[in-house]
A and B are shown apart, each in its own frame.
Chain A
Amino acid sequence: MSILVLADLHEDQLTGATAHVVAAAQLIQNNTGGNIDVLVAGEGIQAAAEAAAKLDGVTKVRLADNAVYANQLAEPLGALLVELANDYTHVLASTTTTGKNVLPRLAALKDVSQLSDIIAVDSADTFKRPIYAGNAIATVKSGDALKVITVRSTGFEAVGANGSASVETVDTVVGNRQSSFVKAELAQSDRPELSAAKVVISGGRGMGSGENFKLLNGIADKLGAAIGASRAAVDAGFVPNDMQVGQTGKIVAPDLYIAVGISGAIQHLAGMKDSKVIVAVNKDDEAPIFQVADYGLVGDLFEILPELELRL
């Protein structure tokens, strides 16, 4: 009755998402007992394994360090999970692009359904998950012997990092002739990770250009905020895709979310409406974003942003 958590990595380092998944695993463990193991798979990922071993509640880390797992390509990682899953009743991963990419492969090869993006654990087999862009919450019960689950970070408070689990090497090596890594273009930023930031300031189409997004920098610096965007801003080429907040981008729930020049489409709201406090800046006083904003400021963002930066 043990649980396996697939660690989420970015450039071979453990991301914050994994601590949230372990928190969800603990809620399941409260019902079932057993261990919580974390699989760290990649190449040159010793540091990530050590970071995972510190997460509270983890029994042991299973480290699969081999070139075939580099960049977490879906085919070898899925095959590895299939090998390891026999020891577990639940396999969990975060709803990050790696988790979404690989976990359904495990489910299909084990002939079980996957429960995507859970936000609450009711019991060892019953979970809550948002559907229809978060406009409904479904309670689902799985009768499958193996439960394959992705976990939404904002649903679970991250566990601490005061543990000292053992790290055990996994020798399983699978082949992969089908897919190969060509290149990555990763965003470089000194700002906090969007999905982990306490404050997020996002710009929409109203920003008008990529150049104008710089108006958000000074404010983000002062607030220690991450910068996000609406899909329209990404589509228009103002900013890269990894900044998109929404149903099909990143889901965020910071203490403070500031939406600037964003109208508030259902798909955008799906990504930020669980924020503690929402501020909207928009020149249209009927923009739907005001229906969810705790504080709305109607006006021209080109006047408001410089003033806000000055006054903070």
Chain B
Amino acid sequence: MKILVAVKRVIDYNVKIRVKADYSDVDLSNVKMAMNPFCEIAVEEAVRLKEKGVATEVVAVSVGPKAAQEQLRTALALGADRAIHIETNERAESLAVAKLLAKVVDEEHPGLVILGKQAIDTDNNQTGQMLAALTNLPQGTFASEVTVDGDKVNVTREIDGGLQTIALTLPAIVTTDLRLNEPRYAKLPDIMKAKKKPMSVKTPADYGVEMASKVSLLKVESPTERKGGIKVASVDELIDKLKNEAKVL
């Protein structure tokens, strides 16, 4: 079975972002970029399935600017076998990405497609579900456990009320939640080896997909900042403040 993993290049999760002075967008110049944390979990899961003998090949895909090849190289260093870079400098909205991934699914016929549940820049949480709808494949979102069993996969999902387990026919689409696994770090020899692994470069036009979206970004602002308050010296003072000043008790 072949596994396709989708990885997105995003701002490093530790970086505190700034809004541009003209409110047109977030300022990403000279900001540390990385693989979306949920995509790291997706790559890790795919590689583990290969190590267990369930998968035979892991293919990583990313849609984005040339620099997204850095994240694809990371995926290769973590154990993916080859990569597909779909190069575009346009804003890659979830719907367009899902359409591109659907084309790749058509070409590659993976048994499983693993995506992150959410990109930490747009916080959209859409692409996997859209891909499932477009390919007419079943979906297991927010997965904390994935067990392939013959021509089925059982997915345990983190839902608001607890956990839900569903069974899906293969091929299927899975999106990762945080507790699915703990991604490994790439070792230096693997990073060296990754440089020689194959990467094909395509464009959205090669797949006949339009990147344009009907959603326009009018403005990006900073949220109203919370001001830090005071330190209280004792439990008694805390209770007094909550009762008499904040009036929440």
Q: Using a CB–CB distance below 8 Å, which chain A residues touch chain B?
A: 10-11, 15, 71, 73-75, 78, 96-98, 100-109, 111-117, 126, 130-144, 177-187, 195, 199, 223, 231, 234-235, 240-242, 247-248, 250, 255-256, 266-267, 273, 276-279, 285, 290-298, 304, 307-308, 311-312
Contact = CB atoms under 8 A, between A and B. Distances in A.
Contacts of A223: 249
A179 B130 contact: no
Interface string B194-219: 00000000000000000001111111
Contact of A104 (B129, B238, B249): B129
Given A179-B140, A241-B163, 5 more contacts: A105-B130, A116-B125, A291-B226, A291-B228, A295-B229
A97 B94 contact: no
A242 B162 contact: yes
B130 to A, nearest CB: 4
Contact of A178 (B130, B142, B169): B169
B158 A113 contact: no
Interface in B231-249: 231-232, 234-236, 238-239, 241-242, 246, 248-249
A298 B231 contact: yes
**Residue in A100, A106, A130, A183 whose Cβ sees the most chain B Cβ within 10 Å:** A100
A132 B129 contact: no
19 contacts: A74-B139, A75-B132, A101-B129, A102-B129, A104-B125, A113-B213, A115-B215, A116-B124, A130-B123, A130-B223, A131-B121, A136-B26, A178-B137, A179-B140, A179-B168, A182-B166, A184-B162, A240-B162, A295-B238
Nearest to B102: A108
B178 to A, nearest CB: 6
Interface residues of B, number: 79
A250 B160 contact: yes
B231 A247 contact: no
A107 B128 CA distance: 12
Given A109-B133, A133-B120, A311-B239, A293 B229 contact: yes
A103 B120 CA distance: 19
A138 to B, nearest CB: 5
Contacts of A181: 164-166
A113 B164 contact: no
A73 B166 contact: yes
B30 interface: no
Contact of B238 (A178, A266, A279): A279
B70 interface: no
A290 B165 contact: no
A185 B162 CA distance: 6
Interface string B23-42: 00010000000000000000
B28 to A, nearest CB: 10
A54 B172 CA distance: 39
A182 B164 CA distance: 8
Given A74-B132, A142-B214, A116 B123 contact: yes
Contacts of B159: 97-98, 184, 242
B93 interface: yes
A203 B199 CA distance: 45
A278 B248 CA distance: 11
B163 A137 contact: no
Contacts of B7: none
B123 A247 contact: yes
A23 B212 CA distance: 31
Given A104-B133, A134-B223, A117 B123 contact: yes
Contacts of B228: 290-293, 296
Contacts of A291: 226, 228
Contact of B129 (A108, A112, A113): A108
A241 B180 CA distance: 12
Contact of A136 (B126, B131, B142, B222): B222
Contact of B220 (A75, A136, A177): A136
Contact of B165 (A109, A139, A182): A182
B242 A256 contact: yes
A50 to B, nearest CB: 21
Given A108-B133, A139-B219, A100 B17 contact: no
A276 B245 CA distance: 13
A223 B248 CA distance: 10
A75 B167 CA distance: 12
Contacts of A195: 160
A108 B246 CA distance: 46
**Residue in B26, B121, B216, B229 whose Cβ sees the most chain A Cβ within 10 Å:** B229
A141 B234 CA distance: 49
A242 B160 contact: yes
Nearest to B214: A143
B220 to A, nearest CB: 5
A97 B158 contact: yes
B124 A247 contact: no
Interface string B132-148: 11100111111010000
B174 to A, nearest CB: 12
A256 to B, nearest CB: 4
B118 interface: yes
